[in-house]
Structure 1
Amino acid sequence: MLDRATLSLYRRLLRYILPYKKLIAVTLLALIFIAMMEPATAWILKELVDESLIAKNPDSFVMMPILLAGVFIVKGIAEYFSKVFSQWIAQSAILDIRSEMYRKMQSLPYSDFQAYSTGKLMSKITYDVPQASNALSTAWVIIIRDSLTVTALVAYLLYISWQLTLLMLLIGPVVAFIINKASKLMRNSSRNMQADMGQMTHQLEEGLNAYQDIKIYGAENYEQNRFQNTAKSLLTNTLNVTKVSALNVPLVQVLAAIALAIVVYIAMQMSAKDMFTPGELLSFITAMALTFEPIRRLTNINETVQKGMAAAESIFSLLDLPDEENCGELKPKAIKGEIIFKDMQFTYPNADKATFDHLNLHIAAGKTTALVGQSGSGKSTLVHLIARFYQPQNGTILLDGSPLKDIELDFLRQQMAFVSQKVVLFNDTIATNIAYGQSGISEEQIITAAKKAHAWEFIEKLPDGLNTNIGDKGELLSGGQRQRIAIARAFLKDAPILIMDEATSALDNQSEKMIQEAMETLRQDRTVIIIAHRLSTIENADQIVVLEHGQVVEQGDHQALISANGLYASLYQKGEQIGANV
């Protein structure tokens, strides 16, 4: 059941309960008392028969019932403390594991984060952690308690008759072989269960988020079949674990029953020859019978352990990923916002072709630079490189003359604000969403930012004002209102570098006008980088950079590029709106 690899994995999991040593000590003490009470019960039955029923010892008439009641009282108290404290320890450890996993998710490199679907990450916390928790609560208590119980009972059996006990123990190697085979089968199926659960959670998330698209395109049956196939695979692997576990337990019990029958037969023969007192015979048979239940639980717990170990493998595969590299130490006192790309090369992981090959670009401080290009030209990638979500393989990116990689990462991102057309809002109050990520912000500062973003005019009309909860992803607000909350957030941060993923293409005229006015105010006195979708909205940019296949093909202001009659002029004259960005 617990081979070397499993033991190593389990020891690592048990490290999460080590901070609770005092509670562990109390739990172990309770488990020792529980184990001691089992042979004590068999011994009391021996004395009850030999001393009370046969020898008619008057002292035993009172003492034996008291001892019997005392055994069950002690056992009951010990079981209470062992269950309560073991769960307390386990749930505390689960909290620590979930916190560590969430921290890891937040600190992953962007490329590693993108390698996981949201559903699979959610599955690790919502499904894998509870599976591992059973190995931290139920499993270790049963393993320790029942191992101690079986050991205590075997010791008592050896005391009564070591010959019969050794005969009984002959089935041990056979039982160990069966459990070992079952462990391997259950571990493989449990791993597949983790993968199926992650895939099902991912498909569930997609289905809920794409509800309208599924309806419009009539894809209900396709999505239902896709979900059903994953659910069937999960069912198959779950049943595989159940079948192995269901066969494992009765097989061990049958072997134990055969051994018990043989031992009972021999014991009765010995009793007939006065080699056993009646009390010793009953006590021996009782002690043997009492080993059945702990052995059954130990065999049955194998399923819980293997599921827990498969879950632990999944958890540790995430926790073992390296954190986002933060090798920089520079924290310049004042950031102007000049950004220079020098001979920069970048290729996405596993990509066949470089996104940028020897790119050179100058983004002036305090000016507005618009990035223009077809889908796949590298606009969004350029922004990701500036924010250090990715690192270039070769070349240099400079911020105010300092290599970007030498600047402390958190400090670097504090110098940036981001306004996207895909607004990210949280299921919280308007005030919290505007002041997101910042502490010590007064209500007056939030109101000022909201006014600059033309958001205050609708916020003050709400019954709870800034304390209004905006629902999941801000869906209780209109598209224009969500955009203005995002702009207010950028106003409040007041960062020297502003990145804007043009945010007005899907809005009505009134909302667009308000947001354009707010964005024009926001752009003042800072370095602004605009990912341009509609070319008509960037005519006033100080610099327009036209990208194609990762290269700068044109650069200049609007008038100069129109006069050059190149790619920008062609796109502008067509009134083309640039779509998705890479």
Structure 2
Amino acid sequence: MYDRQSLKLYGQLLRYILPYKSAIALTLFSLVLIALLEPATAYVLKDLVDVGLIEQDPNSFVILPFLLALVFIFKGVFEYISKVVSQWISERATLQIRLEMFEKLQFMTLKSFQDTTSGHLMSKITHNVSQTSQALVNAWVVLIRDTLMIIALLAYMLYVSWELTLLMLVIAPVVAFLINKASQLMRKYSRKSQENMGAVTQQLEESIHAHKDIKVYGAEQYEIERFNQVLAKQMQYNVKQVRVAALNVPLVQVIAAIALSFVVYFAMKLAADGAFTPGELVSFILAMALTFDPIRRLTSVNITLQKGLAAAESIFEFLAITNETNTGTQQPPIKGELQLNNLVFQYDRAEQPTLKGIQLTIPANQTTALVGASGSGKSTLVNLIARFYAPTSGDILLDNTPLADIELDYLRQHIAFVSQHVVLFNDSIRANIAYGHDEFDEAAIIQAAKDAHAWEFIEKLPDGLDTMIGDNGALLSGGQRQRLAIARAFLKNAPILILDEATSALDNQSEAMIQQAMAKLRQNRTVIIIAHRLSTIEQADQIAVLDQGELVELGTHRDLLAQQGAYARLQQQGELGSG
């Protein structure tokens, strides 16, 4: 618990509560008063025995019970203040941690997303932060309050009898050893439990999104068995944590009780010899007994602390992930001409480059189609243009400016992207079309919807643009979802438009409507299309044919067919269909 790494981790956590200095000061003030009031109970009891019961002082019959009640009243008040204020501090800190983690999500590289499952990411932000929150709200309050309580009680016990107090302190090394061993085991099992919770979340998320496939393929029992396996593993780790916790606290209490029995034995002998009064004997035993609860709480909170520190390790590892690098500083005027010069890209774990020496010019204000078999590198190429990845070698020029030299946000402001995997949000149609932009008025949103031929179904909905569309547009058809995504790109009105299989979910009639809209848009933007439908490709100004990462042909639809080369073979093999 007290190793350097643990202290460093907890120090990192505590920086989230440091901005709330006034609240911390109020909490600390309350904790100090609570600790000072603890031995006051034993002191009042001493007078109650010596003055009230033995000396029979009539004034003590009223004053001492009143003082005892006053001690408990003040303890209750300050306990309330410390708990409420410390919880408020913890909630604020938890909010900040989750906000920082969510912010990290927004600026992570595409590679980082691909290296981590969404279930593990969700588990870190939900489960792990909750574990850390418990460490923040409980650990520092209990550590300070109960440590101060023990110090105050020991000081009083030393005042009454330093010999007996030193006898009691013999158990301290044993207690410290047990707490340390429990800390190591608890951190280990807690870390494994949190890692496995990511697998639980991941499988749950997959089952929710794949519910149609599960039913169609009759895989319900298979999914239940898979989920049962990860839950069983989670149970094992949780039970191991409970075992450590259940054994540690009673062991410490038993050792303290044995020490107490020895101290009581010697205390009674000393009292019999007149070393101190009956009141001092009772108050000493009470003070020693009062140390049991703080010791038990310190032992218990150590378990909570170890869970929180294990979670904190995971959280800080996540926050340390490198953000997207924004090395560019230039903001040149953008027309949309792209030049790919000897472009090479290889994924980290791949044996061969995905793109090999691509040499291609994509003219401004024209449409370029990228075609090729699956895995030929089409999507990788557009990901490089959007700077989701950096080239392994070679470079990309945008209007004669190296892409890496252009400020990243500025670059992406000039690119609209519609993927084959439509992403919509559980919000209104209006918010989805105008996503990321507050400056568009309703007329512009409606015009974008009309350009994408989405207005024809939007205006028929009872709530029109204010219709809520559910999780990823679940309340809409596939074609409607696709047209909303395209309307979003049209509204952005960027000079570069990338369509990655953007018409794949549309029927022929809907696609024909989109083609009409795109024909109008080609006059003032650079369009890059990845598609397999001839109806989408054949109107392109140029078609780039990729084969295993290499550019093998370039030309118009008519010219490439006449060459009877790779493009013609793709059509013959059914890679390019009529719809």
TM-score class, shorter: over 0.9
CA distance in 2 between partners of 1:502 and 1:525 (Å) = 21
In the alignment, is the contact (CA less than 8 A) between 2:343 and 2:391 conserved in 1? Answer: yes
Report the more deviating stretch, 321-330 or 355-364: 355-364
Please name the residue that 1:565 is paired with. 564
Which residue is 1:242 aligned to? 242
Q: Which amino acid aligns with 1:481?
A: Q
SS of equivalent to 1:17: coil
Q: Counterparts in 2 of 1:532-551, with a 5 A limit? A: 532-551=531-550
In the alignment, structure 1 residue 299 sits paired with structure 2 residue 270: no
Q: Which moved more, 1:68-77 or 1:496-505?
A: 496-505
Quote how far apart the aligned CAs of 1:270 are.
Answer: 0.6
Residue 176 of structure 2 is matched in structure 1 by 176
Q: Distance in 1 between matches of 2:523 and 2:288?
A: 85
Aligned counterparts of 1:342 and 1:131: Cα–Cα separation in 2: 50
Corresponding residue SS for 1:260:
helix
2:339 is the counterpart of 1:340: yes
Q: Is this contact kept in 2: 1:487–1:519, CA < 8 A?
A: no
Please tell me whether residue 79 in structure 1 is matched to residue 84 in structure 2.
no
SS in 2 for 1:92: helix
Aligned AA (1:362): T
Tell me how far apart the structure 2 counterparts of residues 522 and 484 of structure 1 sit (CA, whole Å): 15
- The alignment status of 1:393 with 2:392, answered yes or no, reads yes
Q: Counterparts of 1:520 and 1:39 in 2: how far apart (Å)?
A: 86
* Equivalent pairs, count: 577
In structure 2, the partner of 1:138 is 138
Look up the SS of the partner of 2:339 in the other structure: strand
1:216 is aligned to 216
- Shifted more, 58-67 versus 429-438: the winner is 58-67
Between stretches 416-425 and 171-180, larger displacement belongs to: 416-425
Q: Distance in 2 between matches of 1:510 and 1:559?
A: 24
Residue equivalent to 1:48 = 48
Whether the 8 Å contact between 1:418 and 1:498 is mirrored in structure 2 is: yes
Superposed, 1:440-455 pairs within 5 Å as 440-455=439-454
Q: Which residue of 1 aligns with 2:455?
A: 456
For 1:278 and 1:522, locate their aligned partners in 2 and report how far apart those are by CA, in whole Å: 98
Taking the aligned partners of 1:4 and 1:102, their CA distance within structure 2 comes to: 29
Q: Is the CA contact 1:535–1:576 (under 8 Å) kept in the aligned structure 2?
A: no
Judged with a 3 Å threshold, the aligned counterparts in structure 2 of structure 1 residues 154 and 49 are, in CA distance, closer, same or farther, namely same
* Partner residue in 2 for 1:284: 284
> Which has the larger displacement, 266-275 or 414-423?
414-423
Q: Does 2:3 match 1:3? A: yes
Q: Percent identity?
A: 62
Match of 2:352 in 1: 353
**Offset at residue 577 of structure 1 (A):** 4.4
Find the counterpart in structure 1 of residue 150 from structure 2.
150
Report the 3-state secondary structure (helix = DSSP H, G, I; strand = E; otherwise coil) of the residue aligned with 1:343. strand
Q: 1 CA distance for matches of 2:487 and 2:506?
A: 17
2:484 corresponds to which residue? 485
| Contact 2:368-2:528 at 8 Å conserved across structures | yes
1:374-405 Cα deviation digits (max 9, x unpaired): 11110000011001110012111110000000
Structure 2 match to 1:514: 513
3-state SS in 1 of match to 2:2: coil
Tell me the SS of whatever aligns to 1:19. Answer: coil
Shift of 1:520: 3.1
In 2, Cα distance between equivalents of 1:198 and 1:23? 34
**Which runs of 5 or more structure 1 residues have no equivalent in the other structure?**
none
Partner secondary structure for residue 15 of structure 2: helix
Residues 498 and 523 in structure 1, CA contact (< 8 A), matched pair in contact too: no
Distance 1:49 1:331 in 2: 85
Equivalent pair of 2:31/2:144 in contact (CA under 8 Å): yes
Task: Write the mapping of 1:388-467 to structure 2, written as runs, cut at 5 A.
Answer: 388-467=387-466
CA contact 1:367–1:527 (8 Å) conserved in 2: yes
Paired position in structure 1 for 2:268: 268
Distance 1:331 1:512 in 2: 35
Deviations 1:127-157 (A, max 9, x none): 0000000111011111111111111111111
Deviation of 1:86 after TM superposition, in Å, equals 0.4
Show CA shifts across 1:46-70 (max 9, x none): 0111111111223322221121111
Deviates more, 1:563-572 or 1:211-220: 211-220
Paired residues of 1:483 and 1:515 also in contact (CA < 8 A): no
| SS of corresponding position for 1:18 | coil
Q: CA contact under 8 A between 2:482 and 2:505: conserved in structure 1?
A: no
Q: Provide TM-score, normalisation by structure 2.
A: 0.98
Number of the residue aligned with 1:362: 361
1:440 alignment partner AA: E
Q: Deviations over 1:255-286 (max 9, x none)?
A: 00000000000001111111121100100000
Work out whether residues 425 and 471 of structure 2, in 8 Å CA contact, stay in contact via their aligned partners in 1.
yes
Bigger drift between 251-260 and 442-451 goes to: 442-451
Equivalent residue number for residue 226 of structure 2: 226
